[in-house]
Amino acid sequence: MSTITITEDNFEQEVTNADLPVVVDLWAPWCGPCKALSPVLDKLAEEYEGDIKVGKINIDEEPKLAEAFNARSIPLVVGLKGDEVQDVVRGFRGEPPIRELFDKLLEG
């Protein structure tokens, strides 16, 4: 399992009640940086499988979730434990800041 699609319908099950920390990527199909981020997230999802769950929220299809995360600009990558936000990375500046978010989630 690499990344999962998160919707309003499955948010509670996949994020709030998840057994693992969750990294959520808020994105849109028209967003160039989001497309550049996607393979990095897929790679990290495989690398951290079993320790961290990775999900994607399409903000065009899930406007209420985008609003709940205050997603003013995308990509927006959020690290969560339950419903507690642990860390946020705005924009895409390569793999290092994303990897750092994953590592922080495991440390905490």
Close Cβ partners of 77 (under 8 Å, ≥ 6 residues apart): 23, 24, 25, 26, 37, 41, 88, 89, 90, 98, 101
Q: What is the pTM of this model?
A: 0.95
The pLDDT tens digits of the residues spanning 18-51 come to 999 999 999 999 999 999 999 999 999 999 999 9
Domains of the chain from N-terminus onward: 3-107 (3.40.30.10)
Q: In this structure, which amino acid lies at residue 97?
A: P
The pLDDT tens digits of the residues spanning 91-102 come to 999 999 999 999
Catalytic annotation, residues: 31, 34
